[in-house]
Amino acid sequence: MIAKLIPALVALLALSSTASAQLENADPMRGESAAMVCAACHGADGNSAIPNYPNLAGQHADYIYEQLQFYKSGERANAIMLGQAAGLDEQTMADLAAYYATLESEIGETPEELLATGRAIYMGGIAEKGVPACVSCHGPGGMGIPSTGYPRLSGQKTQYTIEQLQLYRSGERSGYGQAEVMNDIASNLTDEEMQAVANYVRGLYPADVAAQ
């Protein structure tokens, strides 16, 4: 996996540098105005009411900016988002990203019957399958790491997370950013394991991790 990770990191660092420069001049107030068209799918407060559409509230600005670029280029395939991103210039992408980063993300609940399995995978991985712990890239509270391509997962919609893991596993989501890393990881996860970890991050409260 390390051999595959290095080229992805090099490409990502170049994109992150561009994102950082653009985000320095981002205006959340302009982003709020531009986000009106996004509210139907992602919620007026950045928390989606649709199970398979992601929450954007509290997500890292550089991650949102980069994903919008991937949608616009077609590297990340999604017909709806291709249409939405097609008309966005880099400044508007940066403004949107800066705005959503200021919002407070909702946190859901993890069903009791999935809690132990989800926590075990997230915190410890699955050694016999070569699956690394999610915590190593997404942090103990699921907050991700800014400027690395590893997004916040805490509070994310369960169905959306499951669908993205399935896209990584099938290879439909690949070829950009950290996708290749996730392709390898997801290829070793069963549907049941994906469901458990997706439900775990849905209810992962960053402030409560230390108490677990």
> Mapped to the 3 state alphabet, what secondary structure does 52-76 carry?
CCCCCCCCCHHHHHHHHHHHHHCCC
Is 151 inside any structural domain? yes
Task: Evaluate whether 36 touches 106 at the Cβ level (below 8 Å).
Answer: no
pTM of structure: 0.89
Question: Tokens at residue 173, please?
Answer: 């989501």
Is 107 inside any structural domain? no
Write out the residue range of the structural domain in which residue 67 sits. Answer: 2-101
- Domain final position from 82, 101, 120: 101
Same domain, 87 and 160: no
- Domain final position from 58, 78, 101: 101
Structural domain count, the chain: 2
Closest CA to 115 of 185, 189, 205: 205
Per-residue pLDDT reduced to its tens digit, 163-191: 999 999 999 999 998 899 999 999 999 99
How many Å separate Cα 37 from the centre of its chain?
21
Output the domain CATH number for residue 26.
Answer: 1.10.760.10
Is 83 inside any structural domain? yes
Per-residue pLDDT reduced to its tens digit, 31-84: 999 999 999 999 999 999 999 999 999 999 999 999 999 999 999 999 999 999
Same domain, 78 and 117: no
Q: Return the pLDDT at 33.
A: 98
Distances (CA, A) of 129 to 18, 84, 169: 36, 38, 14
Per-residue pLDDT reduced to its tens digit, 78-126: 999 999 999 999 999 999 999 999 999 999 999 999 999 999 999 999 9
Same domain, 135 and 185: yes
Bigger pLDDT: 164 vs 15: 164
Distances (CA, A) of 112 to 20, 30, 115, 200: 40, 42, 5, 10
- Domain final position from 68, 101, 134: 101
Query: How many CA atoms, within 13 angstroms, populate the side-chain half-sphere of residue 53?
Result: 15
